[in-house]
Amino acid sequence: MTGQQVRATGPPPMLDRGEARMDPRSPTSSADVASPSPFGPSSLTVRVPSLEPVLYTVYSAACTLAVGIIFFRSMRQQITMLYASLTGDPLLRDLVELGPWSAPLDDVFIHFDFARATARGFPFQWSEGNGYSSGGTSLTYPFVLAIGYWAGFVDLHLVLWAALVGAASVLGLLLAVRCLFVSLPRATTYLAPPFLLATGVLDWALWSGMEVAFFLGVWGLSLLAWSALVAAAETPVRPLLARATVLGLTGACVVATRPEAATTVAIFATSAAYVALRRRGWSLAARILALAGIPGAAILLLHALANLAYTGELSAAGAVSKLEAHDPFRGPTEILDSWLFFVRYQVERITHYHFSENGRHGVIVWILALVALVPKATQRYALLLWASAASWVAIVAFNGQVRWQNERYAMPAVAWLLLAAALGAAAMISLPRGAARRAWWLRVAAVGTVGAAIGLFAWQEVPRFREQVWFFGRASRNVLEQHVRVGLVLRDAVEPRPKRIAVGDAGAIPYVADLPALDLIGLGGYRRLPFGRAKRHGLGAVVELLERMPPDERPDVFALYPSWWDVFPIWFGRGFGEVPVHGNVICAGAAKVLYRADYGAFDGSARPAGLGAQEQVTDEVDIADLVSERAHRYGASPRIGHVDMKILAHPERPSSELWDGGRLIPPGGTERFVVRGIRPGRPFAVVLRMAPTRPVKVSLSVGGWQGTLEVQADDAWQHPRLVVPAAASVGEEVEVTVRADTERVSYHLWVVSWP
């Protein structure tokens, strides 16, 4: 008697009462238990059940390793070509000693910066000594990388450790997603590896060194926990709370790896609770929802509270810097329009570019993924994947950077879509067997259709795959040639050795230089200064924070792309070198320029000109300095203005320059803030700093008292003052409003008192 006959006619295995009504689709049930599924078991599973999981593991590992080798071979070829082009370069020996690796994104090295700081005992710090930073895109990934750093994967060898982590994560994901095919023949699970790994853009992200692969691996653990919980919830007696707790803990890890996954974890929790509600009632469903969902929500809350405590912002620096909702100059309608644009962009870019050379055949993936929603055997899992992908696209559409860096922010959604397509293909080739010729022909047609669809997609994807392989290698070479070499120059070839370097891309330069650094964009973080939010307001707001830093902690060397920073490097820097890149595909400029800092224009900026010997500044409102604005509850209507800045001759030392930043206030615009240090019952003066290009009549209201100032147009710093009578000094804190009918730039305001 064959194994198939024993399976069909023999007695069922002994089960306890809790398992007697187990859902045959449960990943915890035996593959050999009789199943009402019309698909039936795969013959391979029946004949060699003990070897099949090993075979699938080897197959998945081989697919993973093969793709990784293809991409890393491209990297090594490009690095070898770079070494050949640098013959005679004095830094070549140091470059080779760092290790024969690189990464296609400078952002990979941001994780490396956090990881090295963690390994040295400074967790959650981008640059040691700068304090807590919320600028990393992942809380857990730097700790995983730090393990490699502790183990000896230092310098560029940390790239290799990241690759090993990525390979293990991809393999773990491929093992986990077998539970999606649990109601289909076991052989169909072998579609998962080629579907997941056949798309060049996703492979690029998986092997880039970013946290994408690790995130999907952790998500795979949550998928297994969810599958076990749902299967148990469909039986009336099996315990659920322990499984819900496991789902909650894995979900917390998912959120800690990528906070955008909060909606994904919510989908896991609510869908499991819904199954429990249908089978077990409200009480148990509510407990499952709490156990599965609260840990992930707690991670978000704790992260936000840590951000608030250490940076003064609930939102992470990356969110402040990148999310359109944090743009101070956009209204709700503009934010919505931007969000809709980035939703469309992700769908169209992935479909018409990354999935197809000719821009048309990318819809094959979507069609196969939609097919998975039809059969009951795959419907639940397809809904999970579709909901996860859709929610991810919706979340990252708030990120204005989603269209850069090879669309890496959208890659988890791409992975889930490809898995749904694999499910759809598996469902079609697993149509029920039947004796009727119609059933036979239907099965043949389905298999033929799937084969044709896969073949057509592969034919269109091969050129894109090759393009991505080349792009991976060339981008890695670009980062090595420019960013890594800049780090070497700053580490070994600059005298005197920099105390702190200012960068606009917080990645490989500080990692290789191993020097204290300041990220002018704000991702790195420095104490509690809001550089990320300042960059949103304008370059002048960033410079205001540089002025606020202690002079001995300000960067003394800049490594910047001049095109990014307008006049800043010209006004505050003296160029002394540059590092070019050739055949550039990823760096933001053809040359990274090095400057020595000169902050002479800051001298005297904090005091008004023309102070008398007995006059004393009792309060200062530095407009465009976000710290000063927050302290004085500064606001403007109808909307806060863009930040501008000027360098003009110092009013009291014409041979010197004086810099200040201010806000552009439209005609009729009103500024409101409070000033302190008023001596009740004593007169005081309000002093402004202005440099109007046209005559301005300024109206001031100080504690209800009204006054006006007329300022003539002059391209020079002026410090007009208005004396406020004693009657207006009703308390130590007074509200001030400033208004003018003409456009102006508001730079500074002081409260001046005298004995």
Query: For the segment 277-299, what is each residue's pLDDT rounded down to a tens digit?
Result: 988 889 999 999 999 999 999 99
More reliable by pLDDT, 19 or 754: 754
Q: What is the mean pLDDT of residues 210-238?
A: 93
> Tokens standing for 134?
């919320």
Q: What is the mean pLDDT of residues 396-418?
A: 95
- Three-state DSSP class for residue 263: helix
d(CA 204, CA 194): 15
Q: Does residue 63 surpass a pLDDT of 60?
A: yes
- Three-state DSSP class for residue 534: helix
Q: What is the mean pLDDT of residues 37-43?
A: 37
Which single residue is written with the structure tokens 């960013």? 483
Interhelix angle 241-257/262-280, rounded to 10 degrees, is: 170
Nearest to 695 by CA among 663, 739, 649, 743: 743
Q: Calculate the average pLDDT of the chain.
A: 90
**Among 27-31, 93-97, 730-734, where is mean pLDDT lowest?**
27-31
Q: Does residue 239 surpass a pLDDT of 90?
A: no
What number of other Cβ atoms are within 10 A of residue 333's Cβ?
8
Nearest to 448 by CA among 460, 423, 431: 431
430-442 as b/e, with b when 16 or more CB fall inside 10 Å? bbeeeeeeeeeee
> Tokens standing for 562?
């001049």
With a pLDDT cut of 90, the percent of the chain lying above it is 82
Nearest to 228 by CA among 164, 272, 186: 272
pLDDT of the residue at 432: 76
Question: DSSP class of residue 641?
Answer: P
pLDDT of the residue at 703: 85
d(CA 541, CA 625): 6
Pairing assessment for the beta strands 657-665 and 744-746 based on DSSP bridges:
antiparallel
Nearest to 687 by CA among 753, 643, 735: 753
pLDDT band at 41 (very low <50, low <70, confident <90, very high): very low
Q: What distance lies between CA 107 and its chain's CA centroid?
A: 10
Q: Does residue 434 surpass a pLDDT of 90?
A: no
pLDDT band at 425 (very low <50, low <70, confident <90, very high): very high
Q: What are phi and psi of 534, to 5 degrees?
A: -60, -40
Nearest to 205 by CA among 105, 113, 135: 105
Q: Does residue 267 surpass a pLDDT of 60?
A: yes
d(CA 118, CA 427): 46
d(CA 190, CA 187): 6
**Among 39-43, 158-162, 383-387, 734-738, where is mean pLDDT lowest?**
39-43
pLDDT of the residue at 279: 85
| Residue 660 and residue 607 in contact, taking contact as beta carbons nearer than 8 Å | no
pLDDT band at 358 (very low <50, low <70, confident <90, very high): confident
- Three-state DSSP class for residue 526: strand
Output the CA angle 68-70-72, nearest 5 degrees.
65
- Three-state DSSP class for residue 592: strand
Q: Does residue 3 surpass a pLDDT of 70?
A: no
pLDDT of the residue at 50: 75
pLDDT of the residue at 730: 67
**Among 63-67, 108-112, 721-725, where is mean pLDDT lowest?**
721-725
pLDDT of the residue at 49: 56
d(CA 192, CA 177): 8
pLDDT of the residue at 31: 38
Q: Does residue 681 surpass a pLDDT of 50?
A: yes
Question: What contacts 242, CB < 8 A, 6 or more positions away?
Answer: none
pLDDT of the residue at 613: 85
d(CA 174, CA 436): 36
Q: What is the mean pLDDT of residues 259-288?
A: 94
- Three-state DSSP class for residue 415: helix
Residue 431, phi-psi category: left (phi > 0), alpha (psi -120 to 50), beta (remainder): beta
In the chain the domains, ranked by start, together with CATH numbers, are 52-473 (no CATH), 475-602 (no CATH), 616-753 (2.60.120.260)
pLDDT band at 754 (very low <50, low <70, confident <90, very high): confident
d(CA 216, CA 209): 13
pLDDT of the residue at 12: 38
d(CA 650, CA 610): 11
Alpha helix (H) residue ranges in 258-328: 262-280, 282-311, 317-322
* Alpha-carbon Rg for the chain in angstroms: 31
Q: Does residue 747 surpass a pLDDT of 50?
A: yes
pLDDT band at 665 (very low <50, low <70, confident <90, very high): very high
Q: What is the mean pLDDT of residues 130-151?
A: 96
pLDDT band at 317 (very low <50, low <70, confident <90, very high): very high
Nearest to 277 by CA among 314, 341, 230, 223: 230
Q: What is the mean pLDDT of residues 172-176?
A: 98
Length of the chain (residues): 755
pLDDT band at 435 (very low <50, low <70, confident <90, very high): low
Q: What is the mean pLDDT of residues 141-151?
A: 98
pLDDT of the residue at 340: 96
* Start-to-end CA span in the chain (Å): 111
Which residues are paired to 399 by β-bridges? 323
pLDDT band at 441 (very low <50, low <70, confident <90, very high): confident
Nearest to 621 by CA among 657, 662, 666: 662
Which residues are paired to 676 by β-bridges? none
